[in-house]
Structure 1
Amino acid sequence: MALTRVDWEDLPAATRGAIEKHTGRVRSARTVSEGLNSSVAMLLSTEVGPVFVKGLRRAYPRRWTQDMEWMVNPYVTGVAPRVLWRIEEEWDLLGFEAVEGRHAVYEPDSADLPRLMHTMAALGKMQCPDLPLKTAEDRWGPYVTEPEQASWFVGGRLLHTDYNPLNVLISGRRALLIDWAWPTKGAGWIDPACLVIRLIAGGHTAEQAERAVSGLPAWEGAPVEGLDVFSAASVRLWQEIEGAASTSWTAGMAEAACMWQTYRGVAA
């Protein structure tokens, strides 16, 4: 469920003052409507230039997503906007370099997809830094039918895993990955596999979606059996998510996962 947005004027005076210690005077603030997982999401015009701020109350149960972004950002600055500072008081806020752009379009033949593939190829070359991240076998292991199947997901690559088009910012000829709430260590082909399901939800057939990621080195080396296991596990995962919070987008993701599983000829 999307969180209610909090505007600049609604933040405590002490929090606004803490932000202005980093930015100088805030001249104007525009709350961003897109996105689901932050109470604060605003673009500030400041004395030091534009800054994007996102965050949650410190008491919020999923505030740990802020920890993930703060921890991983120094390692992904080539494919993501830089975090400039962090405030941890009543609110946990991250200040990012502001990047002009728009969210990606996932329709078939979208001109955004080659830009995203370039970014994913760069990410796919990155070894996972030595950080306390979740592993892919931990995340998707509960959704396999035999415990040993989770071994397909083991690897040493840094994965983004959440390819919601709202998490891909198209800026000129670049595609930047934002919202690193779920960084994961695992097999490199898992990121393209996560994108395949998103592309199907965006209007691709399963065949078109696999073709779209086919040029990624991580996908070219993906084990067929591993992909089959992952597709079946993804169905169970998205059906669980849809059962817990039935919305049009969770239902769409569950349906897309089923379409991919059927295309791969994997038994339910």
Structure 2
Amino acid sequence: MSTPPATGVRMPWQDVHPGVRAAVEDFLGAPVARVVTQDGGFSPGAAVRLVTGDGRRAFVKAVGPEPNPDAAGIYRAEAANAAALPASVPAPRLLTSFDLDGWVALVFEDVEGRHPATPWRRGELDLVLAAVRRMGAALTPSPVEVPSIEERFDDSFRGWRRLLGEDTAGLDPWALRHLAALAELEAGWAGAAAGDTLLHADLRADNLLVAGDRVYVVDWPWACRGAAWFDVLAMLPSVAMQGGPPPQEVLPDPCSGITAVVAALAGYFVRQSRQPGPPGLPTLRAFQHAQGVAALEWLRHRTGWD
């Protein structure tokens, strides 16, 4: 199986703003002696595991205004959300953050873990799904103030409605045949996904770490409040495209509201994959296309439309 990797162009630690590197070393209390770049994740910044001369360890993310002008804002949102997460959340603790000359750096505790294997192994997937569901139960009601899921994704989840007025050359024939109905179905997603659970809202294998029988959830810039089942639903297209079971096997819920959310998710992936690639993220559109194919197949299954 060949699937596009979830990766940006990782910046070497030595290319990070020298003031940021100095601030990190000052915080850690000793010069950095060893640096290991971590692959995976859609970011054009540095992502490194650091070890200081006196043995202190940390995981550090840092990004500047280039090559992607949106990345620093995403890191600022992640810093705010990570700082507010309660200790009950299975996430590495944010130790500190820095904002200097347009650069943003986040310093986390270093967790000894790895991303889930892909193609997905069923035992590991079951471990992750159980952890995500426990997390959702523990975070209902949301213990922190974050936007609602509608506020967070209202502009994004309009893919089919936007395609009604755009060039549809090359669009999947089934989607093109049902485009008006998909746009109408998608329009009901926000009411269906409303809720008071604190959601990660961007779960994929590259945002998860497995350490023995523990699962850590990393990268929280898109945190919001919504239905407890949303995090599982939103990760299933990536699970399917990375060799896991089809979404309907994992989440067979017949609720019509879930179908509207699947429609919104599929519309987002399909339309986004047709846009120009953002700077510093060379595999993002291919990854979104593969997610869109899986989400569209799930949507066909749920609607039963021929």
TM-score (norm 2): 0.75
CA 1:157–1:3 in 2, change beyond 3 Å: closer, same or farther?
Answer: same
Q: Tell me the equivalent position of 1:197.
A: 237
Correspondences of 1:225-264 after superposition (within 5 Å): 225-244=256-275, 245=277, 247-264=285-302
Following superposition, the deviation at residue 131 of structure 1 comes to 2.3
Q: CA deviation at 1:231?
A: 1.5
Runs of 5+ in structure 2 lacking a partner? 1-5, 160-182, 278-283
Question: Is residue 35 of structure 2 the alignment partner of residue 29 of structure 1?
Answer: yes
Structure-to-structure mapping, 1:1-268, within 5 angstroms = 3-24=8-29, 25-46=31-52, 47=54, 49-57=56-64, 60-73=69-82, 74-77=84-87, 78-90=89-101, 91-105=103-117, 107=119, 109-125=121-137, 126=139, 127-136=141-150, 138-139=152-153, 142-143=158-159, 145=184, 147-206=187-246, 209-212=247-250, 224-244=255-275, 245=277, 247-267=285-305
What amino acid sits opposite 1:105 in the alignment?
A: A
Of stretches 139-148 and 66-75 in structure 1, the one that deviates more from structure 2 is: 139-148
Offset at residue 266 of structure 1 (A) = 4.9
SS of residue matched to 1:111:
helix
| Mapped partners of 2:36, 2:121: distance in 1 | 32
- 8 A contact 2:189–2:261 mirrored in 1: no
Quick one: which amino acid aligns to residue 212 of structure 1? V
Distance in structure 1 (CA, Å) of the matches to 2:49 and 2:225? 31
Counterpart secondary structure, 2:71: coil
Q: Which amino acid aligns with 1:75?
A: L
Counterpart code for 1:99: V
Cα 1:114–1:10, aligned 2, differ >3 Å: closer, same or farther? same
Q: Aligned partners of 2:18 and 2:273: how far apart in 1?
A: 39
User: Which residue in the other structure is 2:175 paired with?
Assistant: none
User: Gaps (5+ residues) in structure 1?
Assistant: 215-221
Higher relative contact order (CA 8 A, sep 6+): 2
The DSSP-based 3-state class of the residue aligned with 2:158 is helix
* Alpha-carbon separation, structure 1, partners of 2:151 and 2:79: 23
Letter in 2 for 1:4: V
TM normalised by structure 1 equals 0.85
How many pairs align? 259
CA distance change for structure 1 residues 61 and 86 in 2, over 3 Å: closer, same or farther?
Answer: same
SS at match of 2:274: helix
Where is the strand percentage greater, Structure 1 or Structure 2?
A: 1
1:190-231 CA deviation, whole Å, 9 max, x = no partner? 11111222221122342xx344357xxxxxxx6711111111
Structure 1 window deviating more from structure 2 (248-257 vs 222-231): it is 222-231
Amino acid of the structure 1 residue aligned with 2:45? S
Cα distance per residue 1:110-153 (max 9 Å; x no partner) = 32112212321222110223424352465155355264552111
Q: Taking structure 1 as reference, are residues 223 and 130 closer, same or farther at Cα in structure 2, changes over 3 Å only? A: farther
Letter in 2 for 1:89: L
Q: CA deviation at 1:169?
A: 0.6
Q: 1:92 to 1:134 in 2, by over 3 A?
A: farther
- 1:58/1:88 contact within 8 Å kept: no
For residues 190 and 72 of structure 1, the distance between their equivalents in structure 2, rounded to whole angstroms, comes to: 18
AA matched with 1:161: A
Q: For residues 13 and 248 of structure 1, what CA distance do their matches in structure 2 show?
A: 34
Identity of aligned residues (%): 23
Tell me by how many angstroms 1:253 deviates.
Answer: 0.6
- Residues of 2 paired with 1:148 and 1:31: CA distance? 42
